[in-house]
Amino acid sequence: MQNIKIAIQKSGRLNEDSLNILKDCGISIDNGTDQLKASARNFPMEVFYLRNGDIPQYLRDGVVDIAIIGENVLVEKGEDIEMAEKLGFSKCRVSLAVPKSASYTCIEDLQGKRIATSYPRTVQQYLDERGVRADLHIITGSVEIAPNIGLADAICDIVSSGSTLFKNNLREVEVMLHSEAVLAVSPKIGPEQQEILTKLQFRLRSVLKARQ
């Protein structure tokens, strides 16, 4: 029998909880010397540890069959990729924030302003739908520092506990998206892998039910 290839976040917020949910499904993963790939001992599965932002492309190309990924990343980079299951962990929101001292009453206040973000497509769509034009500055990390160093008037990033916003004197003004970890499926998944996926989903659903 063939294996199903699953992508999991290499490091960061989803990594541990992703491995935990597989463990709760009764799947034990051998973490050998290879840090980027591992095999399951008792389930036909290979695990690939990848960068979050790369995972949609790996799914699209069929390099991996499935992935545990933040819904926010799928919305930003993988509109064409099917979401099979919401997994109930790593809940966060993708929000717009402005300096505490800035006046803000509605989205039109961002007209002509500079917004720093790692989620350009998500922000652009949100602004387009509301007829607001702004300048997007795409940065990959530490987005919340941008207003303090004069790079932007507002930011759009993930908010979880809110502590990063708080520490940077920012105020959340618009929630654009609610997100959590999801199971995503490659459009190129083969019939054998599809069968394994069905078994995995069956287990996932009982785990999720038990967690409620």
Nearest one of 179, 178, 185 to 200, comparing CA atoms: 185
At residue 186, the 3 state secondary structure works out as coil
**Closest distance between ligand PRP and the C-beta of residue 189, in Å?**
29
Does 35 engage in binding with ligand PRP (CB under 6 A)? Answer: no
CB of 102 or CB of 139, closer to ligand PRP:
139
Residues in 145-164 at the binding interface with ligand PRP, rule: CB under 6 A: 157-164
Bridge pairing between strands 4-9 and 45-50: parallel
Does 144 engage in binding with ligand PRP (CB under 6 A)? Answer: yes
CB of 73 or CB of 200, closer to ligand PRP:
73
Does 186 engage in binding with ligand PRP (CB under 6 A)? Answer: no
Which of 142, 148, 169, 198 is the binder for ligand PRP (CB under 6 A)? 142
Does 2 engage in binding with ligand PRP (CB under 6 A)? Answer: no
Does 95 engage in binding with ligand PRP (CB under 6 A)? Answer: no
Number of Cβ within 10 Å of residue 170's Cβ equals: 27
Residue with nearest beta carbon to ligand PRP: 141
Cβ neighbours of residue 21 closer than 8 Å, sequence gap 6 or more: 68, 87, 89, 204, 207
Does 131 engage in binding with ligand PRP (CB under 6 A)? Answer: no
Residue 121 phi, psi (nearest 5):
-70, -40
Does residue 173 come out as left (phi exceeding 0), alpha (psi in the -120 to 50 range) or beta?
A: alpha
Nearest one of 73, 119, 71, 66 to 96, comparing CA atoms: 119
Q: Which residues bind ligand PRP (CB under 6 A)?
A: 12, 141-142, 144, 157-164
